[in-house]
Structure 1
Amino acid sequence: MSRIPYLLIILSFLSIQFVQAQTSFDLWVVDTEGKGSSLKLLAETAKSLTNRPEYDNQPNFINDSELVFSAADNQGNHDIILYSFRTGNFTNLSKTSDRSEYSPTLTDCKQYISAVVVEPDGKQRLWLYPINQEPAELLYDDIAPVGYYDWYDNKAAMFVLGEPNKLVYAWGKGNVEVIANNIDRSVKKRPRTAEITFLDRNELKESPEGNLVPIKTYDLKKKKINAMGNSLPGSQDLIWIDKNHLLMAKGNEVFIKSATGSEWNSIGKITSSTHKNITRMAYSLELNKLVIVMQRN
């Protein structure tokens, strides 16, 4: 790959992040009932968790009562914020004026909050923020630009931007396995397995409702790719609520699909005059709550 196109790709990705950061998103929370295929939203309980013109996005539960997410200040800088459902308090886990943190989550070892960091020179790499508030550490100095990721066995599976975008797994220094090329932005570990889930754009199909993108998993132990049907038409963001069930959303409605099934079934719709278009989500079985990201009108 020539140097100039590669730089253009990076600049394009960073500009997309910047545009997204200028769009107002809020976190909402809604109670749920049931488990697995019986999960339903109690739509009447839906309420905003954040409510401000800046960017609040990319939520992840780190334990049974706390959530982390990426939030922009009024200068457009993004930090990691922790919210406690037990106390109702928000706490800054990072406050960095020279860089922005995205997609925070808890590492497998539970000693760090990881994040994709846009560094002062524009590099976009994976960093670790110790939960004891010690200085942050760069994890993979030779893997960039990282967009999205998840963890298995204390190592990261990462969406790396390029021509094409690729999914890689870092077994160790200098030992990076390319799992797939031309993927969408969702990278999620399937609970209680060695599988990494991704959306394979190589077999994308168009439909009147939006693109259908095959959902696939890669088993890091068996070195095998499995197919799990198609995405919800026109949607990019998925999460597992347990080993056997996936959630995606379209508009203000949330849908569920079993790992072995092909049909997406609605579990509820959020009514709002101020917000629309659910994208990212985070689910807590312990709290019976679903946190969703919605765009301000």
Structure 2
Amino acid sequence: MKLISPLLGLMATLAITSYSSLAAMPKSEILLADVNTEYGLQVSRITDGDVYNNQPLLTKSGIYFTKEVQNNEQSQTELVFYNFADQQTTNLTNTAVSEYSPTLTPDGSALSAIVVEANGKQKLWQYPFDKNVAPRRIFEWVEPVGYHAWGINNDVVMFILGKPHTLQYTHVAAAKPEVVASDIGRTLTFNKQLGAYTFNYTKQQQQWLASFDAKQNQVTDLFRLPKSVQDYAFKGADTVIYAVDNRVYQRNLSEPEIVSLWLDLTPYCETKITRMSYLNNQLAFVCTK
């Protein structure tokens, strides 16, 4: 893991909503900020910026992410893992189709991901960590899936591409998703403290952060977001972080009118931060090149 001098701040990647065309993936890189070391903020580069690297999922042992693989002048995406222990990156899928949006399943036994199948359809799959168990579709008929987030009861919300894009909810056993909201953005989470999913969406030309309580079947607006914000993360249970260009701001759910600058990552990212994943005083973030 290479520590970055503030003078060498570079860039990473733009998340794209639909992967039906992979011909023009923007170059990007993933960096890791450790915000609570004895030397203060320390930032290291996890990937270089020569291809598309995106959608980091930060865990205790490393970072799962989506990486572009180029072959014979063609590009596709694979699921890869950067291991903190040996600082090595391993390709987890290595298939003839594209996978993206790695997410841990509720029991932690597999990665779930969106797969652009050979016929171009985007479906939700799972890739078990047990190599004796074959990857499989989670839903046969639900598509086109763009993003997803798991709850705690084997239930899931999915970003379904369309006009408009919709947030749809279902249990794995039911496999019949219901539309929850429209005009949604690309960030979906489950917040255990709220006992609800969160998502961003457009209402009356404004960006909002909202929650969806599946038990009550209720959507609640939490607060307005800056117009440019499409991605956010949670720092702890009740603090939302999001980037405007290369600065990260924070807001508490109980006092959303108070906005404060959390991290100025300008020395490490000269362009825009487009994705973030936070865990245990570490922030994995994507910077466009």
TM range (shorter): 0.7 to 0.9
User: Letter of the aligned partner of 1:268 in structure 2?
Assistant: L
Number of matched pairs: 265
5+ long unaligned stretches in structure 1: 1-11, 35-40, 206-212
Matched, 1:46 2:43: yes
Distance 1:274 1:228, change over 3 A: closer
Look up the match of 2:234: 240
Q: After the TM superposition, which of the residue ranges 146-155 and 193-202 deviates more from structure 2? A: 193-202
Q: Is the 8 A contact 1:191 1:240 kept in 2?
A: no
Q: Does 1:226 align with 2:220?
A: yes
Q: Assess if the C-alpha contact under 8 Å between 1:230 and 1:262 holds in 2.
A: no
Report the equivalent of 1:6: none
Give the TM-score normalised by the residue count of structure 2: 0.85
Do the aligned partners of 1:81 and 1:94 also contact (CA within 8 Å) in 2? yes
TM-score (normalizing by structure 1): 0.83
Rounded Cα–Cα distance in structure 1 between residues aligned with 2:268 and 2:36: 24
Cα drift, residue 295 of structure 1: 0.9
What is the RMSD of the two structures over their aligned residues, measured on CA atoms?
2.1
User: Is the Cα–Cα contact under 8 Å of residues 72 and 78 in structure 1 kept in the other structure?
Assistant: yes
In the alignment, which residue of structure 1 is the partner of 2:31?
Answer: 28
Structure-2 separation of matches of 1:181 and 1:228 = 16
Of residues 110-119 and 193-202 in structure 1, the stretch that sits farther from structure 2 once superposed is 193-202
Q: What's the CA shift for 1:163?
A: 2.1
CA pair 78-174 structure 1, distance change in 2 beyond 3 A: closer
The equivalent of 1:101 in structure 2 is 99
Taking a change above 3 Å as real, the CA distance of residues 273 and 86 of structure 1, as seen in their structure-2 partners, is closer
More strand by share: 2
Q: Deviations over 1:257-279 (max 9, x none)?
A: 11131233111211347742001
- 1:4 corresponding residue in structure 2: none
> Unmatched 5+ residue regions in structure 2?
1-16
Instruction: Kindly provide the CA deviation profile for residues 194-248 of structure 1, in whole angstroms up to 9, marking residues without a partner as x.
Output: 311111212333xxxxxxx111101112222222111133110011122211110
Equivalent residues in 2 for 1:46-125 (5 A)? Answer: 46-61=43-58, 63-75=59-71, 76-96=75-95, 98-125=96-123
Q: Deviations over 1:273-296 (max 9, x none)?
A: 7742001111121xx211100011
Answer 1 or 2: higher relative contact order, Cα 8 Å, separation at least 6.
2
Q: Is the 8 A contact 2:211 2:222 kept in 1?
A: yes
Structure 1 CA distance for aligned equivalents of residues 235 and 268 of structure 2 = 28
Amino acid at match of 1:196: Y
